[in-house]
Amino acid sequence: MSRALIIVDVQNDFCEGGTLPVEGGAELAGAISEYVDAHHGQFDHIVATQDWHIDPGAHFSENPDFTESWPRHCVAGTRGAELHPDLDTEYIQAYFRKGQFTAAYSGFEGLLAPDDAVPTGDRKPGAMPVSAGAGDAGASGGEGAHGEETEAEDAIGLYDWLQSHDVEDVVVVGIATDHCVKATALDGVQAGYSVTVLRDLTVAVADDPEDAIAEMELGGVDIA
C-alpha cells in the first residue's frame, strides 16, 4: 500500500498579500515545509494542487458573496497562482492544476501540470508566463473554453495518477479547511481512499471551521 500527501492550494493569492488571502496562509506554507522535511519518509508520494483559473465564469465576481463567488484569484500563468515561496517544493513529485473553466474546489478535478512548469513563480524578467496546462487557452489557442478537442482529453487527473502509483492512503493539508481541503478530502473518500486531514496544517476562511470539520468526519474523513 502506498501513502500520499496532498498539499492543497498553498498559493500566493491565498496567503497574505494575495487577492484572496486566508489569515495564516503564509505561516502555514512554512509549517507544511517543516512537516514535509521531518516526515517525507513516511510518504511514498507527495503532490500539490493549484487553482489555475482562465475563465471560471461566475466563480469570479466584482461583487462576490464569498460563498459561491469570489474576487479574481489564481489566474493561470500569474504569480498569484504559483505556490507560496515559503512552501519548499523539494519533495513534491507532481502538480495538479484545477479550475481552468470551472470553480473546481476539489484537487481531484485537477490535471497534471507539464513537467517543465515552474512551481514557485520564479522566472527570468521578460520570460513568458508558465503554461496554464494541458488544454488551456495559452496552450491551445483558446479552444478549451468552448469544448473543442484539446490536449485535455489526454491529460492525467489526480485520481488516475494516484491509482497508477498504487496509492490507498491519503493525507491532506493546505488551504482552505472549509473549501478546497474539505472538497478534496471528501472526494478522496468517495474515490475509495483512506483519507486523513491534518487539522493543524490547514487554515480556514471561516473564523470557526467546526462545521466543515464535522462535515468531513461525517463523510468518512479522519481528522488528526
Which residues are known catalytic residues? 9, 98, 180
**8-state DSSP, 224:** -
Q: Residue 9: which residues within 8 A CB-CB, separation 6 or more?
A: 49, 50, 51, 74, 107, 174, 175, 176, 180
Contact between residue 18 and residue 12 where contact means Cβ atoms under 8 Å apart? yes
Query: Identity (one letter) of the amino acid at 175?
Result: I
- The grid coordinates of residue 85 equal 515561496
Residue 167, Cβ neighbours under 10 Å: how many?
Answer: 23
Q: How far apart are CA 184 and CA 66, in angstroms?
A: 19
Residue 64, Cβ neighbours under 10 Å: how many?
Answer: 16
Residue among 53, 150, 157, 149 at smallest CA distance from 100: 53
Contact between residue 15 and residue 197 where contact means Cβ atoms under 8 Å apart? no
∠ CA(67), CA(206), CA(169), 5° rounding?
90
